[in-house]
Amino acid sequence: MTPAWTLISAFAGALLVLLLPARFAGWARLIALAASIIGAVAAAAACLTKLQHPDAAVWSFDREWIHDLGIRFHLAANGLSLTLLLLTGLVAIAGVLFSWNITLRPRAFFAFFMTIIGGVYGVFLSRDAFLLFLFYETVILPKYMLIAVWGSTNREYGAMKLTLYSIGSSALILIGLVVAYAAAGGTSFDLDYLASFKYAPSLQSWAFPILFLGFAVLAGIWPFHTWAPTGHVAAPTAASMLLAGVVMKLGAYGALCVAMPIFPQGFVEWRLVIAGLAVVGIIYGALTALTQKDLKFVIGYSSVSHMGFILLGMATATHWGLRGAMLQMISHGIVAGLLFGIAGRVVYERTHTRDLTELQAFDLWRTLPGAAIAFTLATAASMGLPGFSGFVAEIFVGIGVWQSDPWLILPVAVGIIVTGAFSLRAMHRAFFPVRKPTAEAATMLPPLTWPEISAIALLITFSAAIGLYPMPWVTLIDDGLRSPLFHSILSLP
C-alpha cells in the first residue's frame, strides 16, 4: 500500500458517510472507523517499507495541474511525512472510537471528521506549496462546524475564535508563499525549487517572519496561543483530539518544512526571537495550567506548553533539536489525544462536569478505576517520565538547546518542573481526592466501554513503544532531515 491510500481513504470515507441513507445513519461510525484503519495501515506499511529499504526511492505522485502558474499536483512522502501520517492515522482511529456514542447528525459529524483527516494527510504529503496551502485551507470549515454544532462550553465563541485565528494565519501564509514564488521568478510552487532559490537577505528578513508566524499561530506560539485552550474546551471530544493531536502539528510542520527551508537566512536572523517565545510559551502554559479548575483547560494550556518544546527544538537549528521537535510532535499528538479523550468522553459523559473540585465528590479511583489508571499513565507520559514518548522527545530537545543556546536550559528546566506540578495536581484532585471519613460513599459509574478501552490501549501502547524503543522513529526522522529542504539549515553526516 502506498501513502496515497491515506488520502484516498479519508476523503472516500467522508463521501461514503454523506451518501448514506438516513435510515443507515448508524453505519457512519463504522465507515469512519474502517477508513481510519485503512489510512493508519497504509501509513504503517509505508513506514515499515522505508525502514526495510532505506535507500529505495521516495514514493511520489507528480502531475501537471495549472501550467501557466507552474502549479503541480505533487505528492511525496519522506521520513518526516511518514511519521506524521502514522500519527494522524492513530489519532483518527482513537477519535472515532471515542465518538462511538454520537447520535446527533452522525453522518455530518463523521463526514466533517474525515474531511479534517484528509486535509491533514494532504498537507503532510504535499510537495507543491500551492497544493499544501489548499489542503491547509480544507481543514478550516470542518473545524468550525464540529465545534459550533457538536461542542459544549461557549462553543460558538470557541469555534469563531479558532476560525478567525485560522483565517488570519492563512492570510500570512499566502502572503509569504506568493512573495517566495514571485521573487523566485514566478515559474514554480515546488517546495524543493523554492528552498533552493537564493533570496536576497533583505527580503528574507521581513518575508520569513510573515510566513513563519502564519504557521506558528496554528502551532500555538505565544502570544498567539489563546485560540487553543478555548477551542479545545469548546470542541467535542474527537475535535479536541484532532486539534491537539494533529491540527496543531500542521502549523509546526509548515514552520519546519516550509518557512525555515525557503528563507533560511531570515530564520537565522529571527532564531533567538523564536527560541525566546518558545520558552515563554513553555513556562506560561505550564503556570496557567497550574491555576485552572476545568480539567480540559488544564490539558489545553498544557498543550501550549508542550508545543513550546517543538518550537524550541526547531529554533536550535541542530540535528538533535529538530529530532526532538519531530518526536515531540508525535508524542504530544498521542498523549494530548489520550488526555482529551479521557477527560471529554470517559469522565465528562459520566459525571457531566470537568470542574476539579466537583470531580472530587465522584471518588473516581473507586467508582471509575479504569479511567483513573488510564489517566495516570497518560499523565506520566505527559510529564515526560522514562518509558514514554515524552521523555525521549524532551531529552533530544534539551541536547539541542545545550548545543545551541545553553543559557536557555535553566528556564526550560523550570517549565518541566511546573509541568510535573500541574499534571500531578490535576490527576490528584480529579481521580485521587482526599475524602473525609464521614463522607457518603460515591455511586459506582458505568465502566469503560470496549471502544473506549480500545482507543486508550492504542494510544498508550504507541507512547510506551516510542519511549522504550525510539530507534525506528528516529531513523525515519533522520531520513526526512537529510532531504534537500534542510541542506541550508543542517549538515547531517
Share of residues in the chain with pLDDT > 70 (%): 98
pLDDT tens-digit profile of 209-229? 999 999 999 888 888 888 888
User: pLDDT value at position 411?
Assistant: 86
SS (H, E, C) 365-430: HHHCHHHHHHHHHHHHHHHCCCCCHHHHHHHHHHHHHHHHCHHHHHHHHHHHHHHHHHHHHHHHHH
- Answer yes or no: are the C-beta atoms of 367 and 442 closer than 8 Å: yes
d(CA 235, CA 341): 11
Query: Residue 439: pLDDT above 80?
Result: no
* Cell numbers representing residue 452 in the block: 473506549
User: Using the 8-state DSSP alphabet, how is residue 73 labeled?
Assistant: E
- pLDDT-based confidence at residue 366 (cuts at 50, 70, 90): confident
Query: Residue 247: pLDDT above 80?
Result: yes
Among 239-243, 257-261, 384-388, the least confident range: 239-243
- Answer yes or no: are the C-beta atoms of 360 and 347 closer than 8 Å: no
Query: Residue 186: pLDDT above 50?
Result: yes
Average pLDDT value for residue range 402-415? 88
- Answer yes or no: are the C-beta atoms of 194 and 184 closer than 8 Å: yes
d(CA 57, CA 6): 19
- Answer yes or no: are the C-beta atoms of 283 and 415 closer than 8 Å: yes
Average pLDDT value for residue range 440-462? 86
d(CA 131, CA 137): 10
User: pLDDT value at position 133?
Assistant: 93
User: pLDDT value at position 441?
Assistant: 63
- For the chain, the 3-state helix, strand and coil shares in percent, each to the nearest 5, are 75, 5, 20
Tell me the CA distances in angstroms from 21 to 13, 27, 43, 48, one per residue in order. Answer: 15, 10, 31, 38
Query: Residue 493: pLDDT above 50?
Result: no
d(CA 492, CA 481): 8
Q: Which of 126-135, 338-347, 483-492 has the highest mean pLDDT?
A: 126-135
d(CA 370, CA 377): 11
User: pLDDT value at position 397?
Assistant: 92
User: pLDDT value at position 36?
Assistant: 94
Average pLDDT value for residue range 421-428? 89
- pLDDT-based confidence at residue 492 (cuts at 50, 70, 90): very low
User: pLDDT value at position 491?
Assistant: 46
- pLDDT-based confidence at residue 440 (cuts at 50, 70, 90): low
Query: Residue 488: pLDDT above 80?
Result: no
